[in-house]
Amino acid sequence: MKPQKNPQHITSKNVPDDWFTWRGKNTVEQELVARPSLSYWQDAWRRLRKNILAMSGLVFLILLILFAVFAPVFSPYEVDTGVLSEQYQPPSAEHWFGTDGLGRDVFTRTWYGARISLFVGFMAALIDVTIGIIWGGISGYKGGRTDNFMMRIIEILYGLPYLLVVILLLVVFKPSLFTIIVALTVTGWVGMARIVRGQVMQIKNYEFVLASKSFGTKTPRIIRKNLLPNSMGPIIVQMTLTVPSAIFAEAFLSFIGLGISSPNASWGVMANDSLGAILSGNWWTLFFPAFFISFTMFAFNVLGDGLQDALDPKLRK
Amino acid sequence: MEKILEVKDLHVTFKTYGGTVQAVRGVDFHLYKGETLAIVGESGCGKSVTSSAIMRLIPSPPGKITAGKIVFKGQDLTRVSERKMRSIRGVDISMIFQDPMTALNPTLTIGTQLIEGLKQHKKISDKDARIRAIEMMELVGIPNPEERMKQYPHQFSGGMRQRIVIAIALICEPELLIADEPTTALDVTIQAQILELFEKIQEVTGVSIILITHDLGVVAKIADRIAVMYAGKIIETGNKREIFYKPQHPYTKGLLNSVPRLDTKGKLQPIDGTPPDLFSPPQGCPFTARCPFAMEVCNKVYPESTAVSDSHRVDCWLQDERAKQLLATMVTN
Amino acid sequence: MLKYILKKLLIMAITLWIIITLTFVLMVSVPGSPFNSEGNSNEIVQANLEKHYNLDKPIPVQYLLYLKSIVTLEFGPSISQPNQTVNDMIGRGFPISAELGIVTVIVALISGVTLGVLAALRHNGVIDYLSMGIAVLGISVPNFILATLLIQQLAVNLEWFPVATWKSPMHMVLPVLALATGPMAIIARLTRSTMLEVLTQDYIKMARAKGLSPWKIIVKHALRNALMPVITVMGTLLAGIMTGSFVIEQIFAIPGMGKYFVESINHRDYPVIMGTTVFYSAFLIIMLFLVDIAYGLLDPRIKVMKKEGE
């Protein structure tokens, strides 16, 4: 439908007379050139796929999850039984990541550690999201005095030093998978609640929500059908950033002696155990847990950044 | 009359992910000393880009002036150094932006923002600068200037902020003022006051004004001459009477017909369709697809500029003798 | 402004009260009493504890007396080290920890803002990718791992820096580096994104149209506005630096408060944990309050409420 090519020799000076014939308006031609319509999620996925860094983060995380699930199953070694005579073996064909001071296989322990770190991370994020959506959703949707009251509580909780509260709780209740997750979420949900509230307050005033209301749609349905789907973007981004911070917190706690105790291995515990070993040259005992903590956090961070860009409706082109 | 500014065959492009946008495609116009030229057109036609190009404020990359000249008082602004350009901006040429709510820095006082341009370009004591600032605020009609200089932008209404923006633009006594949609963001009642202010400052300072707008009401009030822009080209220029009473280009006519007026009866006539995509602009007249008088030639070759009178020029094939014959046959039929 | 300060002050007071009460409730509810666990057979210690926590009185009275002791800044005795009080430990450790913290904050702020501004000014250029690469790594590598790496490479292998203790400026380099990298990365990312946003604002275009020099535009118009969000995260960053100092002091054997705190956790020295937690929390909550006030002073939209408020 491109305009016909104009022969080179014709300029505005010498146009042939027979070109002076009516052509008429033809606005239809133009309107046809529209871009294919994509749904919000299709469009976001299309843009995320173009982000190489975010996609490599995603691939890394998928591999990590697969290994965490299956590697211990196939490993010939137990997580907590080592052969003392085989302590501090460098990486080899039998022990891919070497062995630690108690002769335990670092490869096996690393994947057990992955299970724990990922479990803590995802559970913490999931609980944060659940509480955050309920609290933030009610606060933002109700508005007025309810909102005011609920926000004051958030403001106060927000002022509490997160890790100190976690430490305090774990000092009193013996550290276990359960208590660590509880401690991490006691004040952790506050950030999510703030985000959800902000989203809900913004969206509830949009015309399509007002329209649903005017048809007499019931509140729970409005929340489910209108508010949640439209505030999903920032919630997902916040989730991707909650997971690494929970993983970091767990490792940090292990490091100051409030981690998950034997026979379980978490990356933080493994790193802490091998602090002494590294100075005597047994680098692998620290390297593998440290590498996986750092890379998992890195992967989540770049994925979160990528999602943030991909899910931002303002950037839609 | 002395020409203060002459723009010749200006081309500006923007590189984007989707390709290169030819935002301005060979624009010619000039401005006489002390007059007001309005550049009128739909959004996206390149009028704001043209004004930014004169100030050399096109974000680069992605934007670039690819060809043409901008001759201001004898020197070509497309060729001067950035340093030299900085000494021209604010001193010889000033600019006013569309939205006064965002054009002022929220964290600095009005006084600071007024004075900083003056301090940058002229050797002037703080005390004299303050006196000059107060003078300017009085000129643009802000009561209690001494008090208000210490205040922050959020303490001013939209109309008052636009007055301050105008004062900032005029404080170094520029010879050329470019106003990019100066009233679009304001309430209708405030718009009239700001337009009156423009007339007043032109009377007092003799500044030449380029007014960028899509609002023909604004044009009717304060412009001396009008340039109509479409798809990166100026398709018709003339003085106010010529454009309003004897428009030649079908687009100009369409533009005038789509504006509500008290003296015409009947329905408003919108222009059908949308402007062409400037990623790949048509090689003929860009209005062809929407033009009720489009001929085969329009689609193939861009028309030459034709003089209708000494001050009135138009780019349209309908000015050609052969088209006039065609029109005559249609009328007799 | 006055109203703003009062509101923040009230919230600060409630937060403080909650953390103080929380410590008390948790200690009282520890299965068995935390104050007579096995390791604690020393009679002097037991006497000190009973005196400080008024263990012979009913719990509500204990609580009130506990509140009083905190208000009068008496944080109680230690179990693991008899003849020592928490106040002694704070007196010895806090100056060192504060020194580490202040140097870290300064380093993180200067380097973070510089990286962020450079990245924003060279948006999508090499410097942008480089500094954002550094920033993502800085956020991803936990400070205790970085610290270990630094010790192993720069102190043990290359012997460029001394390790352990806190004597000369050279002793400060590695701990500060380990502690400042995370906050620096966060500041750099935040500065970059707000700076990019600010640079597209009309008032920047307006400043350019005034003919101001690029330097003046960046410092006076852009940076000032871009740094406002950085101030709002300072509270969180301070908290991060503080908790980070627990492990950093432990790893580098710096005799600061953090080291004592981690030791007390390992020894389950409950009175010390309680006392130090309350002290840390109070310190942090007051810092948060000061950050809020600073923000109010810098943002004219809050500052000028003073005129209407007074």
Residue ranges of domains in chain B:
3-92+177-332, 100-173
Residue A4 per-residue DSSP state: P
pLDDT at residue A9, as a whole number: 63
pLDDT in tens, B35-49: 999 999 888 788 888
Which residue of B18, B273, B284 is in closest CB contact with A3? Answer: B284
Residue with tokens 């309908």: B318
Q: Which of B227-231, C12-16, C62-66 shows the lowest mean pLDDT across its residues?
A: C62-66
CA distances for B208 relative to A188, B50, B197, angstroms: 61, 16, 14
Q: What is the pLDDT of residue A28?
A: 53
Q: What is the pLDDT of residues B183-199, one digit of tens each?
A: 887 888 888 888 888 88
| Structure token pair of residue B289 | 């697809």
pLDDT value at A136 more than 60 = yes
In this structure, chain B runs to a length of 333
Architecture of domain C95-255: Orthogonal Bundle (1.10)
Least confident window among A273-277, C84-88, C184-188: A273-277
The residue among C77 and B254 whose pLDDT is bigger is: B254
When pLDDT is cut at 50, 70 and 90, the band that residue C307 belongs to is very low
Higher pLDDT, C64 or A102: C64
Kindly determine whether residue C265 and residue A257, on different chains, have CB atoms separated by under 8 Å. Answer: yes
**Domain boundaries in chain C?**
2-71, 95-255
Point out the residue among B293, B299, B320 whose CB comes nearest to the CB of A3: B299
**Residue B67 in 3-state DSSP?**
strand
CA torsion C39-C40-C41-C46 (nearest 10°) is 180
Give the angle B232-B234-B240 at the CA atoms, nearest 5°: 140
Among residues B247, B232, B237, B246, the alpha carbon closest in space to that of B210 is found at B237
| Mean of pLDDT values over B158-180 | 89
- Residue B196 identity: E
B81 CB near a chain C CB, below 8 Å? no
The answer to whether residues B243 and B226 touch, using CB atoms and an 8 Å cutoff, is yes
Q: CA B263, B265, B271 angle in degrees (round to 5)? A: 100
H/E stretch holding B287 reads none
Q: Give me the mean pLDDT over the A108-137 stretch.
A: 89
Q: Which of 212-241 (C) contact B at CB < 8 A?
A: 212-213, 216, 220-221, 224-225, 228
CA distance C258 to chain B (A): 39
**Angle between helix C43-53 and helix C270-298 axes, rounded to 10 deg:** 40
Do C148 and A278 make contact, defined as CB atoms within 8 angstroms? Answer: yes
Of B98, B103, B109, the CB nearest to C203: B103
Write out pLDDT tens, residues C218-276. 888 888 888 888 888 888 888 888 888 888 888 888 888 988 888 888 887 888 888 88
Tokens of A214: 């005017």
Does A31 contact chain B (CB < 8 Å)?
Answer: yes
Q: So what's the pLDDT on residue A124?
A: 92
Of C11, C139, C142, the CB nearest to A301: C139
From chain B, the residues in CB contact with C228 under 8 A are 107
Q: Is B187 on the interface with A (CB under 8 A)?
A: no
| Sign of the alpha-carbon dihedral angle for C201, C202, C203, C205 | positive
Rounded Cα distance between B38 and B219, Å, is 6
Distance CA B214, CA A180 (A): 63
Confidence class for position B14, pLDDT limits 50, 70, 90: confident
> Mean of the pLDDT values across residues B84-99?
88
Please tell me which of the candidates A6, A15, A18 has its beta carbon nearest to residue B283. A6
Which stretches within A187-282 are classed as H helix?
189-203, 207-214, 219-222, 228-255, 267-273, 275-279
Contact indicator for A202, A226 with CB cutoff of 8 Å? no
**B225-230: strand order across its sheet:** B93-96, B176-180, B208-213, B36-40, B225-230, B233-239, B313-315, B305-307
Confidence of residue B228 (pLDDT cuts 50, 70, 90): very high
Backbone torsions φ then ψ of A83, nearest 5 degrees = -105, 115
Sequential DSSP letters for A19-53 = G-SB-----HHHHT--PPP--HHHHHHHHHHH-HH
Which residues of chain B have a CB within 8 Å of the CB of A31?
A: 273-274
d(CA C162, CA C169): 10
Residue type, A42: Q
Shortest Cα–Cα distance, A40 to chain C (Å): 24
How many other CB atoms sit within 10 Å of the CB of residue B151? Answer: 16
β-pairing verdict for B93-96 and B176-180? parallel
B-contacting residues in A 169-198 (Cβ below 8 Å): none
Q: Sort B25 into a burial class: Cβ within 10 Å, 0-12 / 13-18 / 19+.
A: buried
- Mention every residue, 6+ apart, whose C-beta is less than 8 A from residue A133: A192, A196, A228, A235
Which residue among A21, A31, A317 places its CB closest to the CB of B296?
A21
Residue A30 to residue B296, Cβ atoms within 8 A: no
Per residue in A28-77, pLDDT (tens digit) is 554 444 445 667 777 788 888 888 888 999 999 999 999 888 877 777 77
Examine the pLDDT at A99 and tell me if it is beyond 80: no
The number of residues making up chain A comes to 317
8 Å CB contact of C277 and A271:
no
The residue among B101 and C308 whose pLDDT is bigger is B101
The rounded distance, in Å, linking the Cα atoms of A186 and A56 is 32
Q: Is A32 on the interface with B (CB under 8 A)?
A: no
Which is nearest to B289 in space by CA: B218, B227, B231, B333? B231
The pairing of strands B63-72 and B176-180 is unpaired
The pLDDT value given to residue A63: 93
Per-residue confidence band for C32, with pLDDT thresholds at 50, 70 and 90 = low
Whole-number percent of chain A with pLDDT over 90:
10
How far, in Å, CA of C118 to CA of C123, rounded?
8
- B69 DSSP β-pair partners: B8
Q: How confident is the model at residue A316 (pLDDT cuts 50, 70, 90)?
A: very low
* C265 contact A CB<8A: yes
Of A43-57, A212-226, B75-89, the one with minimum mean pLDDT is A212-226
Task: Identify all chain A residues contacting C22, using CB atoms and an 8 Å cutoff.
Answer: 165, 168
Measured in whole angstroms, the distance separating CA B37 from the mean position of its chain's CA atoms is 8
**At CA B94, angle to CA B90 and CA B98, rounded to 5?**
130
Please tell me the predicted confidence (pLDDT) of residue C157: 74
| Domain B3-92+177-332, CATH among 3.40.50.300, 3.10.180.10, 3.30.420.280, 3.40.605.10 | 3.40.50.300
- Residue A306 pLDDT exceeds 50: yes
pLDDT: which is higher, A285 or B175: B175
Using one digit for the tens of pLDDT, what is the confidence trace for B264-302?
666 677 777 777 777 878 888 888 888 888 888 888 888
